[in-house]
Amino acid sequence: MAKDKAYKLLALQEGISNGKAKELIDKGVVTVEGKKLLVARGEIGDKSIFKIKEIPKVTIIYQDDDILAVDKPAYLSASEVEEMFPDAKLLNRLDKETSGVMMLAKNEVFRGKAIKEFMDNRVYKEYVAIVEGKVIDEFKVDLPILTIKGKSAKSKIDLVKGKPALTIVTPYMVEGHKSKIQIVIENGRTHQIRVHLQYAGFPIVGDIQYGKPSTQVQRVMLHSKITKIMDYEFEAREPREFFHFGF
């Protein structure tokens, strides 16, 4: 069977430009035979049938003269969300495959105040996740994290060079060999929750980078549910993927 680069074949199938095809693959919304296509330049059989998952739209949770809070869907990067609101600047970031509360400042005065809240660890950040394994008791992971920057950032626990990171985990429910948990973090290092849960033996379902692929979902099952900053409190409802596991 003849092969060609995935993005070229997708472009032919959909009648779109090569650039648009690469963009869709990079967003993680293209699958072949139920498996997410990860490398746009990877070679694949020329008879392959591609499916493109629709990207949910960003939902505005709240806005006033100072702040804009949105519910970011999975598969959109923080930068792409910021581009949708040219008069606002990001206050927090989420990984592309993580959904939930994101905040943007609508003026520089408020942005300065909000950034200080983050720097002083006065922002409450609560997540929900579905993980591999049975989480029965609450536990904490208080280990420093080092992030290696590059085209694709990767983090790891490093007792010497890492920055402080505290993750508090509370079990919600166990179903089979998976658990639904609540996570509260005090710092917010890159991939902090994913790295700490892997270390604890409970990798997040669908986390290819720090765990293993899932046959049930095509995303990391991590959602930023509640964020509190100053006098504001924002909540984003759990996406429908979270109900696929019986929780």
Start and end residues for every CATH 3.30.2350.10 domain found in the chain: 59-243
Active site residue ranges: 95
| pLDDT tens digits along 135-193 | 999 999 999 999 988 767 899 999 999 999 999 999 999 999 999 999 999 888 999 99
| pLDDT tens digits along 86-128 | 999 999 999 988 999 999 999 999 999 999 999 999 999 999 9
* 168-202 b/e (C-beta count within 10 Å ≥ 16 → b): bbebeeeeeebbbbbbbbbeebbbbbbbbbbbbeb
- Alpha-carbon gap, residue 6 to 25, rounded angstroms: 9
Fold adopted by 59-243:
Pseudouridine synthase (3.30.2350)
| pLDDT tens digits along 41-90 | 888 888 888 888 777 789 999 999 999 999 999 988 899 899 999 999 99
- Alpha-carbon gap, residue 204 to 178, rounded angstroms: 9
Structure tokens given for 30: 């293209």
User: Burial of 209 by CB count in 10 Å (0-12 exposed, 13-18 middle, 19+ buried)?
Assistant: middle
| pLDDT tens digits along 34-55 | 788 888 888 888 888 888 877 7
Start and end residues for every CATH 3.10.290.10 domain found in the chain: 3-52
- Alpha-carbon gap, residue 68 to 102, rounded angstroms: 8
Q: For the whole model, what pTM was predicted?
A: 0.81
We find that the CATH architecture of domain 3-52 is: Roll (3.10)
